[in-house]
Chains A and B, each alone.
Chain A
Amino acid sequence: MIYKHDVLVVGAGLAGMRAAIEAHNQGVDVAIVSKVYPVRSHSNAAQGGINAALGEGDTWESHGYDTVKGSDYLGDQDAIEILAREAPAAVLELEHWGVNFSRDETGHLGTRNFGGASQARTFFVADITGQALLQVMFEQLVRVGVRMYNEWFVTRLIESEGVVRGIVGMDIRSGQLHAIQANAVVLATGGMGRVFEPSTNALINTGDGMAIAYRAGARLMDMEMMQYHPTTLKGSGALLTEGARGEGAYLLNSEGDRFMKKYAPNKLELASRDVVSRAEQTEINEGRGIENCVLLDCRHLGKDLIMRKLGQIHELALELAGVDIVQEPVPVRPGFHYPMGGIKTDVDGKTTLDGLYAAGECACVSIHGGNRLGANSLLDTVIFGRRAGAAASEHSRALPSPADSFPLGETALQQETERIRALLDRPSVGELAAKVRWDMGVNMVKHCGVFREAGGLTEMGDLLHSLQDRATRVHVGDKGRVFNTNLTSVLELQFMLDLAVAVQVTALTRTESRGAHTRTDYPERDDEHWLKHIQLQYRPEGPEIHFTPVTMTRWEPQVRSY
């Protein structure tokens, strides 16, 4: 089938749904496609909260400065100004739509502390903020009545000579491929955590949108900037929110020391994530860890506060690690969490391709630069989701109906149908997708982890070549069409390998240490040479590297200490 809409949003997390609601409000015909039901999107995992300078005495400048400093001066300051200025309205909008944000005794919005922030400006719903926001956003999507294509897996864009006019996707339930033609496509496909093993991310976070855009010719940016969260559980890699430290939890090494005193004497456990993760990894590397972990100690917070504000992490630690955080400290370590990099966009979500927009975790505006501050990402999704939805609508209004790109959709659909058939027809012997992904993930953490150096990165480059070769022999054991999750996992593997290469290439290119990117062979930040972004353009022979300047408005780079 060929479907048609003015604007098509891919991804029904917070960013995608916000974009779709905006497009609907702008009066265009909009639809939303998602490989899982909207409320299953990974936005639901956000525990901690969402930032805004809404409180008495807080200013957008202060929020902006904290974000710039957190980004290690790699964030684009025009975009960060927009983020900080629009934050209060965005959070209030969510409140008006129904989010049951926690209140203080007077019935007004209450806040909690979060890492890297000079003020308590994080608004929250217990430790289920993402879940609460996602539910409400979905409620609003239902209210306005946006057409949903749920459990559809987008496999590629309909693109010709730098112009994007829709997508090809598979209805997972029937296994049938369809094209959806649109004047503008907004990608809001979320993160790429599964490139790394272990990771805090859901199994669906395979970076599809980033890889699809990259293959179609859009540029990726800041791909060397990968955030490792300081408190992930040993074993499963599940995340324990920064809200725990925000409420006052300590980090201890094997000697029982609050080691953050050494690394960030002022902010201690609430320094930026890159700083805390590096400190932990240093303690572990220097022999003061416990089985590759340090300890997160919540005991002094008391049962009452833990149950009231940190119930979800109490449950997670108990279920996944068998530790009752009321009674004992829980072992944690830095774990892969969030890509600061993604599809390069301007402040209206426009990518380097005509008709293609991106927002949320898959995009790189760049708000987060070298390191994202906790609770700035939910904010990123709603602000830039809305802006991308608006810009895509405007773009669409200037064009004739999407029907005019008809032959393009037909051709793309045909090519894709053949490609998938060929995949299914591969003999049932050969590589297992899961095995290739595992080898990629474990080695990405090893060589593109908290600490990196030229030797390991080069080794990773070679390894990725061989993994890509192995991937061509991966087979699809399930030959059926209905709900073939085996097939989608093979398609996802191909996306992830492209992104792994992007991370490895940019990490090798940046010969300095900035934000989450720490090169042991280049330990200093080098503003003279590296106050710039690395962008990648897909070429069959390997990524083509470009450099672009960082936009500075009012904040000069300074030495970064917490």
Chain B
Amino acid sequence: MDVQLKVRRQNPEAEGEPYWKEYALAVPNHFTLLDALIQVREEVDETLSLRCSCRSHICGSCGMRVNGHANLACKTKLSDLHTDTVTVEPMGNMPVIKDLVVDLEPFWKKLYSIDPYLQPAGEVPEREYVVPADSMLHLDGVVNCIMCGACVSDCESLSVNPIFIGPTAFAKEYRFVMDPRDAADTQRLMQMNGPGGVWDCTHCFKCVEVCPKDVAPMDRIMAMRKMLVDDGVAEKHNGARRQKAFTDIVGHYGRLDETRYLMKSVTMLELAGYAKVGLRSMTHGKLPPLLPHRIPDAARIRRIFERTRSTYRRRFKLHQQAQEGSRV
């Protein structure tokens, strides 16, 4: 079959701007994008740089954006794309080194930041740790992560919030939190409750969509958020409190009542810190009314909230079940 590859290229040594280069190839039907790129590199244009190794989606080297979404080149069958031209770009949210090769150093640093190793407590047993078979099986779903960076590439939170620890590292964190042998849960939960933590995920589903290994990082993040709430750790987090206060108030009164919002989402101590702002607003006539106007249709808004919540819950549950299904 004939394919047209449109590759976004960049050469730091030439100090040029990124540019597009097109390659027209005739390839066998079973070819993957990686096969085609290797053919380009070996026979057409040796200056094209990319990372690749295993050719069988296990080493995580060949992450790139294909027609706008991150994927592994070796997992992308050209015949499945159904487009005449295939656009190929380096992964996003990471600086380009050359052509399709991005700088992964920040990616690894974030991984290191979560202390990514088992921290057991107590004596090491003479034999293996005896743990439920299911608990180990459950970890397979995240151990599957090959650190390809596709999720990080397309993460919407990361694109505006560079301190967000991100989907890969949190999938890894989940692996330890869920491991019955790991004893550092409290510390791990405290950390993910902090800056750049799980509350910074915008819930965009991107990581779930692009992950070539069905790791579903967002689901892991949501599961850990739930743990934080259940364990009461989240109470200490502004992000969690604000999120809850916002939805509670809007869901009930139909509009945001800033005073209530402030009272509900910060601690007394923090409230004191707002005093100055409050005074200034008052003298400038910007203070929101202490008793908010109720809007006439609040009841309808409440119903909208309820409906959205339950649809969402249902969808999330279905999605989780599908994930579990594919993971067993």
Say whether A142 contacts B117, CB under 8 Å: yes
**Contacting residues, chain A, for B97 (C-beta < 8 A):** 173, 482-483
The answer to whether B43 touches A432, judged by C-beta atoms less than 8 angstroms apart, is yes
Judging by beta carbons under 8 Å apart, are A131 and B58 in contact? yes
* A105 & B133 in contact (Cβ 8 Å cutoff): yes
- Interface size for A (C-beta < 8 A) is 63
Check if A238 sits within 8 Å of B131, measured CB to CB.
no
Inter-subunit contact B98/A98 (CB<8 Å): no
B143 interfacial contact with A, CB 8 Å: yes
Chain B neighbourhood of A477, CB < 8 A: 45-47
In the complex, chain B residues whose CB is within 8 Å of the CB of A109: 128
Task: Report B-chain residues with C-beta under 8 Å of the C-beta of A142.
Answer: 112, 116-117
Question: In the assembly, what is the distance between CA of A238 and CA of B32, in Å?
Answer: 14
Q: Does B104 make an interface contact (CB < 8 A)?
A: yes
For A352, the chain B residues whose CB sits under 8 A away are: none
| A101 and B13 within 8 A (CB) | no
B residues less than 8 Å from A238 (CB atoms): 55-56
In B126-165, the 8 Å CB interface with A consists of 127-133, 136-137, 139-140, 143-144, 146-147
Contacts A126-B140, A202-B54, A480-B11 known; A98 to B181 CB distance under 8 Å? Answer: yes
On whether the beta carbons of A107 and B143 are closer than 8 Å, the reply is no
Query: Is B58's CB under 8 angstroms from A483's CB?
Result: no
Q: Residues 101-114 of chain A: 1 if any B CB is under 8 Å from the residue's CB, otherwise 0?
A: 11111111110000
The residues of A that contact B137 with a CB separation of less than 8 Å are 102-103, 126, 308
Bound state CA distance, A337 and B133, in angstroms? Answer: 32
A236 B56 Cβ-Cβ under 8 A: yes
**Residues of chain B at interface, number, CB under 8 A:** 58
Q: Does B146 lie within 8 Å of A39, measured CB to CB? A: yes
When the two chains form their complex, are residues A42 and B53 in contact, meaning their CB atoms are under 8 A apart? yes
The contact of A37 among B30, B108, B112, B328, by CB within 8 Å, is B108
Q: What is the distance, in angstroms, from A23's C-beta to the closest C-beta of chain B? A: 18
In the complex the two chains form, is B116's CB within 8 Å of A128's CB?
A: no
Cβ–Cβ < 8 Å partners of B52 in chain A:
203
A14-43 near B? 1/0 per residue, CB < 8 Å: 000000000000000000000011011110
**CA distance in complex: A213, B89 (Å):** 39
A236 to B34, CA, bound (A): 12
CA distance A274 to B139 in the complex (A): 35
Contact indicator B129/A96 (Cβ below 8 Å): yes
Across-interface contacts of A322 in B (CB, < 8 A): 30
CB distance from A185 to the nearest CB of B (A): 23
Tell me, in angstroms, the Cα distance from A140 to B115 when the chains sit together.
10
Contact present for A102 and B30 (CB under 8 Å) = no
CB distance from A538 to the nearest CB of B (A): 28
Chain B neighbourhood of A139, CB < 8 A: 116-118
Q: A102-B137, A126-B140, A486-B41 are in contact. Are A45 and B58 (CB under 8 A)?
A: yes
B121 within 8 A of A: no
Min distance, Cβ B231 to any Cβ of chain A, angstroms: 23
Please report the C-alpha to C-alpha distance between residue A151 and residue B57 in the assembled complex, in whole angstroms.
20
The chain A residue sitting closest to B80, CB to CB, is A319
Is there an interface contact between B136 and A102, defined as CB atoms closer than 8 Å?
yes
- Asked if A480 contacts B47 (CB within 8 A), the reply is yes
| B59 surroundings in chain A (CB, below 8 A) | 36, 39-42, 44-45, 202
Interface-central residue, A39, A98, A319, by most chain B CB under 10 Å: A98
Asked if A529 is at the interface (CB within 8 A of a chain B CB), the reply is no
Within 8 A of A (CB), among B41-91: 41-43, 45-47, 49-61, 75, 77
Nearest 4 interchain pairs by C-beta: A477-B46, A98-B118, A434-B42, A103-B133
